Amino acid sequence: MAERITPRSESYSDWYVDIVLQAKLADYSPVKGCMVIRPRGYALWEHMQRAIDDMFKATGHVNAYFPLLIPESFIQREADHVEGFAPELAVVTHGGGEQLEEPLVVRPTSETIIWSMYKKWIQSYRDLPLLINQWANVMRWEKRTRLFLRTTEFLWQEGHTAHATAEEAREETLRMLEVYRRFAEDYMAMPVLTGLKTDAEKFAGAVETYSIEAMMQDRRALQSGTSHFLGQNFAKAFDVTFQTAEGSLDHVWASSWGVSTRLVGALIMTHSDDKGLVAPPRLAPTQVVTIPIFKNKNKTEVLAYADKLHRRLAERFRAEYDPDDANSPGWKFSEWEMLGVPVRVEVGPRDMENNTVVLARRDTGEKQSVDVEEAPEAVAALLEEIQSSLFARAKAFREENTREIDDYDELKAFFEADGGFAIAPWDGSPETEAQVKEETKATIRVLPEGNEKQAEGRTAIVSGKPARHMAVFAKAY
RNA sequence: CGGGCUGUAGCGCAGGGGCUAGCGCGCUCGGUUCGGGACCGAGAGGUCGGCGGUUCAAAUCCGCCCAGCCCGACCA
């Protein structure tokens, strides 16, 4: 079969690529590392965008748009920022047939251009807080790319906020981390761990970076969103000051936070199976597909029955209808399963006689027969049920593959075997972190909230010193 | 950016200096089918990844480049 999906057991990476291509989510472009997001993939992103954007608005943020091109000198203003991004910048050197006086960088992120503008817009504490988000594309010249997970150009949102105090900026950082957690769990049905990144893993230019981390089906961690407390780093680099109520002059405090089209990759790897994409109902491009099953002699009647049902469903759901007589029902079942549609409605002569329809759920394959009049209600209930059961299943999987490990040999063995998330006492030193990475390929994904307390009285792996943190180790994407 | 594998019709592949480049699936048209990837008949579809070289002759041999996948070093 030409359209076979490589089973996960055979090759997890091939499986992932097969799903992306065959569920028509994206395709390769002629330019290395770039991809075309196809309508079904883009629909997933649009539904994500809508939900996240609503959450931003509900927390007082407004959208704006800053330009793609940034003067090269801007990137160089903040020392860590330059160092972090220099190797992955795309630079425009020519325009209008002439060499530019100053090269322009294609934004890898927009802190610098945004803070250059904030300098103009902020004078007084009355101008604060400034809570701006933008939806944009960015470009990072990655060495090794993977569809959705790491592409040269990707779509994301980046929030950039300015505050009068460090406390406020910190609160904002954590508030947005929590927004991401809620989005991941409520919409993507993807359980995530939240916590602080170590210095080795934090964003170039941040004082502190927090992230949400999800476990994929191959037990590797995927960083799915980040929120940074920037301190006064960019305010100082761009000299953004404000006058306080008391009349003194102070640098502004900042946060920035983002999620990207990488979330589409996260969604795929969290739920899908060997038959194709499994999309959580709240984000699925199509939520319910109606497939009529007819013979030539009853075609007209069945199509009328199915079409009427489809139209009722379309009033409430993102619904599609597949009456094509070129393919058999069985073929359509497989096809729509590959595309990840959560609920399939089958209607044939037998259903017509009994005034029923058959509902099949994508996640388990289970079928049930329901009264045709109650079909929309039943579909609604089933979508809810699938949404929560996907979350429960993903969470159970993560828990089964999460272990608390005190002993370094055991940690090594853990990552030599199936791996997963290992929660281990850590002495807080970059050296031991690097050694673990060197010897196991696992890195510290996050330091969860309250981890310092849990580490009290314990002995750190590797060094044997008193532990300062309980760290979550995992192999990461 | 290093190591490995790959690139021939939309997809999966065969062919490996010589005459008109094949097969399966898909696609188009006509007909029969239809409750888990149906069938018959007729058709359309190829700069053999690109550029250059060797040769009377290159999909085939050689060089360079491009792209994809895997494994490493760097990253959302």
Sequence spans of domains, chain A: 12-271, 288-381, 402-474
| pLDDT confidence band for A3 (50 / 70 / 90) | low
What CA–CA distance (Å, rounded) separates A310 from A321?
A: 6
Q: Is the CB of A295 under 7 A from strand B?
A: yes
Name the CATH superfamily, with its identifier, for domain A288-381.
Anticodon-binding domain (3.40.50.800)
Architecture of domain A12-271: 2-Layer Sandwich (3.30)
Q: Residue A313 — pLDDT band, cuts 50, 70, 90? A: very high
pLDDT digits (tens, 9 = 90+) for A173-230: 999 999 999 999 999 999 999 999 999 999 989 999 999 999 999 999 999 999 999 9
- Quick check: A275 CB within 7 A of strand B? yes
A148 closest-nt by C1' vs CA = B76
Q: Distance from residue A28 (CA) to nucleotide B58 (C1'), in Å?
A: 30
Between the CA of A1 and the C1' of B76, what is the distance in angstroms? Answer: 36
- In this complex, the nucleotide whose C1' atom is nearest to the CA atom of residue A258 is B76
Strand partners, A105: A70, A91
What is the reported pLDDT for A1? 35
Q: What is the pLDDT of residue A85?
A: 87
Confirm whether any atom of chain B, the nucleic acid strand, is less than 7 Å from CB of A375. no
SS3 (DSSP) at A127: helix
CATH of domain A402-474: 3.30.110.30
Q: Which residue is associated with the tokens 């319910």?
A: A288
Q: Strand B proximity: list residues 188-217 of A with CB under 7 Å.
A: 201, 203, 211
A331 closest-nt by C1' vs CA? B37
* Domains A288-381 and A402-474 fall in the same CATH topology: no
Q: Which residues contact A52 (CB under 8 A, 6 or more apart)?
A: A157, A179, A183, A259
**Phi and psi at residue A419, in whole multiples of 5°?**
75, -170
* Bases along strand B below 7 A from a protein CB: 1-2, 10-12, 24-28, 32-38, 66-76
Q: Is the CB of A10 under 7 A from strand B?
A: no
ipTM above 0.85, yes or no: yes
What's the sign of the alpha-carbon dihedral A42, A44, A46, A48? negative
- Closest nucleotide (C1' vs CA) to A22 is B11
Question: CA–C1' distance A279–B51 (Å)?
Answer: 44
Least confident range of A28-37, A46-55, A151-160, A220-229: A28-37
What whole-number distance in Å separates Cα of residue A315 and Cα of residue A253? 47
User: Which residue's CA is nearest to the C1' of nucleotide B12?
Assistant: A2
Beta strands in A362-440 (DSSP E): 367-371, 402-404, 421-426
Neighbour count for residue A231 (Cβ, 10 Å): 19
Give the C-alpha separation, A297 to A122, whole Å.
Answer: 74
Q: How far is CA A436 from the centre of its chain?
A: 27
pLDDT exceeds cutoff 60 at A2: no
Instruction: Indicate if the pLDDT at residue A33 is higher than 90.
Output: no
Kindly report, residue by residue over A439-449, the tens digit of the pLDDT: 898 999 999 99
